[in-house]
Structure 1
Amino acid sequence: MKLVILYTKVNCPLCEDAKQLLEFLQLDHPFELKEVDIYQNDDLLEKYQLMIPVVEIDGVEVDYGQVSIDHISKHLV
């Protein structure tokens, strides 16, 4: 089963949109979804501060910002 990590932060509308999109994709593509708040880790904060939300699938960053359902679903097949 694939592991999808959503890098996010509190009070982020794009992050909420990305989470809903990923939860929708889980209906057709089973995967484990893990949400990580970048403000809990200084390295992640420095790396992703201007990019969030960031979607990582099995260790590969596949999309960020305004995430695309088509782009992400291609990586879940």
Structure 2
Amino acid sequence: MVDLTFLTRVDCHLCADALQTVTEVAAGRDVTVTEIDIDTDDDLAAQYGWDVPVVLLNGRQHSFHRVDRDRLSKALDALGA
């Protein structure tokens, strides 16, 4: 099982595009996707600011701003998902 955390914020067009990619790539895999609005957490907001969207795989940053479908797929493959 891979934990994929998707950090986002309201009214973020890059986030909407990235979430669609994440959802498509994660479909049918052993992946748990958790979406977190960074503006609900002061620490996350301070850490990531305007770098959203951010994808974390098992707690480690994989990507930010844009999510490359092939790169994410390969990373999930490498993690056994």
TM-score by length of 2: 0.88
Structure-1 residue corresponding to 2:20: 20
Q: Tell me how far 1:28 sits from its aligned partner.
A: 4.5
Q: Which amino acid aligns with 1:7?
A: L
- The whole-number CA distance in structure 2 between the counterparts of 1:30 and 1:18 is 19
1:3 aligns with 2:23: no
- The whole-number CA distance in structure 2 between the counterparts of 1:54 and 1:22 is 11
- The whole-number CA distance in structure 1 between the counterparts of 2:22 and 2:63 is 12
Structure-1 residue corresponding to 2:65: 65
For residues 13-52 of structure 1, the aligned pairs below 5 Å read 13-52=13-52
- The whole-number CA distance in structure 1 between the counterparts of 2:33 and 2:47 is 20
Contact 2:22 2:67 in 1 (8 A): no
Q: Tell me how far 1:26 sits from its aligned partner.
A: 1.9
TM-score by length of 1: 0.92
Structure 1: stretches of 5+ with no match in the other structure: none
- The whole-number CA distance in structure 1 between the counterparts of 2:32 and 2:40 is 21
Moved more, 21-30 or 39-48: 21-30
Count of aligned pairs: 77
Contact 2:9 2:15 in 1 (8 A): yes
Q: Per chain length, whose mean CA-contact separation is higher, i.e. which structure has more relative contact order (CA < 8 Å, sep 6+)?
A: 2
